[in-house]
Amino acid sequence: FNVRYLGIYPRGDPYSTSYLSLYLCMDASDKLPPESGKLVELSLSIMDQKHGQHYTRKSPALVVFAGECRWGWSNFIPLSIFRDPSSGYLVRSCCIVKAEITIVGSSSGGEVLADGQMN
């Protein structure tokens, strides 16, 4: 996978204005055929820079097909918590985001296969 950028909307996106919205945006350069994809698990975290209590959201398994796409949450963390100085998520106007992607299988012709299994 080629990560193109993190989409961070500090005032929320059009769907959620009282939350920080956070997305992992992928590049279309992955050379998958249009009908096949990869089964992935995604985890995004805002790192607590003071106390080590990170705010993490995990997705269920997602099937990702060829082309540009983004995954994440329009309501990742309430702005009141994110902006609270005692929370440690926003320090001197900076936040640290951690993204983890695990490829757990593949998809071919609409059929999801776990790694190591043949269709």
Q: Is residue 110 part of a domain?
A: no
Q: Is residue 114 part of a domain?
A: no
Q: What is the pLDDT of residues 71-119, one digit of tens each?
A: 888 999 999 999 999 999 999 999 999 988 887 777 665 554 444 333 3
Identity of the amino acid at 60: P
Q: Is residue 112 part of a domain?
A: no
Q: Is residue 91 part of a domain?
A: yes
Q: Is residue 111 part of a domain?
A: no
CATH number of domain containing 85? 2.60.210.10
Give Cα 110 to chain centroid, integer Å: 23
For the chain, what is the domain count? 1
Residue numbers of the domain that contains 79? 3-105
Asked if residue 34 lies in contact with residue 65, where contact means CB atoms within 8 angstroms, the answer is: yes
pTM of the model: 0.74
Q: What is the pLDDT of residues 33-84, one digit of tens each?
A: 656 667 778 889 999 999 988 999 998 776 665 566 778 889 999 999 999 9
